[in-house]
Structure 1
Amino acid sequence: MNLRFRLAAPADFPRIIAMLRAFYDEDRIAYDPVLVEPGLRQLLAEPACGAVLLLEGDDVAEAGYITLGWCFSVEQGGRFVLLDELYLAPAARGRGWGRQALALARDWAIVEGASVMRLEVNHHNARAKALYLSEGYRDDARDILTLPLAAVPKGLHP
């Protein structure tokens, strides 16, 4: 059976947020509705930000989702796609759909004009990392560091 996707719309927010919460619980990602929910709403409403692909199979209506966001890097040749989240529901696992989901995301990015797709994987998720490496992603031997700008004291920036 093949996996397919459709582009999510703002009306899909409730079903995506339910899967997102399951994903965050499973992957030990802190769920902060003040950050996550507006971010998801913006992604669904503004195609210039990226897209959410809703994954479906013949016998699994809600197989999962992929969030893709546009980014920019001189080193990466300009505009590139960040595969921000990839979630497969438990009923969709063990079917080879992880590889198919990556191919769907890759094909979407190519059609949209990206030349590079990057992704993040948690250090504890060796299984996902092995899948990504087997599909041609490379480990750039870098860590992603984050500075929440709301936490920076006001006097430190102009």
Structure 2
Amino acid sequence: MSSGNTPLDWRLADAADLPVLTGHIADFYREDQIPLNHERVQAGLQQLLAAPANGAVLILSTAQEPFAGYITLGWCFSIEQGGRFVLLDELYLVPAVRGQGLGRQALALAAQWARQQGAAVMRLEVNHHNARAKALYLSCGYADDQRDLLSLDLSA
């Protein structure tokens, strides 16, 4: 394990990244026990890449790992949050780079991107079983709103 000195770089994803992203998204969903609806995820990913007004996908890299992970960021709206805010929808680091402080760097990069886009608030969700991720988010200044996220599938 490194002491966190590995610099993390990023770039905006584009359509050429779809095949690699798709594989890593499947890895992330499997690891985090998220059911993968391939068609729905592909449609969302394509919309995100095609329309910057929806948000962005950041491809993460290090000098040793050209694809160290990814972050998906999407715009949302809430009067409670003062209008538009950014949802940090997904953050995934490949196993080879974990434990090097890159998660903390990735969160800082996401916050920097959101600020540059004019966001005042960034929110995220974390699964109840992922205590390690939740501890990281809390240590980076995220607050536990003591709420549960509920979903209704409108396509059914």
**TM-score, with length taken from structure 1:** 0.94
Deviations 1:88-138 (A, max 9, x none): 000110110000000000000000000000000000000000000000000
- Distance (whole Å) between structure 1 residues aligned to residue 42 and residue 112 of structure 2: 27
Aligned pairs for 1:96-115 (under 5 A) are 96-115=101-120
How far did residue 34 of structure 1 move?
Answer: 1.9
**Gap regions ≥5 residues in structure 2:** 1-5
Of structures 1 and 2, the one with the larger relative CO (CA 8 A, separation 6+) is 2
Aligned partner letter, 1:147: L
Residue 154 (structure 2) aligns with: 149
Query: C-alpha separation between the residues in 1 aligned to 2:155 and 2:88?
Result: 24
Between structure 1 and structure 2, the one with the greater Rg is 1
Kindly report structure 1 stretches of 4+ aligned residues shifted beyond 3 Å. none
Shift of 1:11: 1.4
SS across alignment from 1:83: strand
Aligned to 1:129: 134
Taking structure 2 as the reference length, the TM-score comes to 0.95
Aligned-partner SS, 1:137: coil
Q: Which residue of 2 aligns with 1:84?
A: 89
1:150 positional shift? 1.6
How many residue pairs get aligned? The number is: 151
Partner AA of 2:71 in structure 1: I
SS at match of 1:136: coil
State which of 123, 136, 154 in structure 2 corresponds to 1:118.
Answer: 123
Between the aligned residues of both structures, percent identity stands at 64
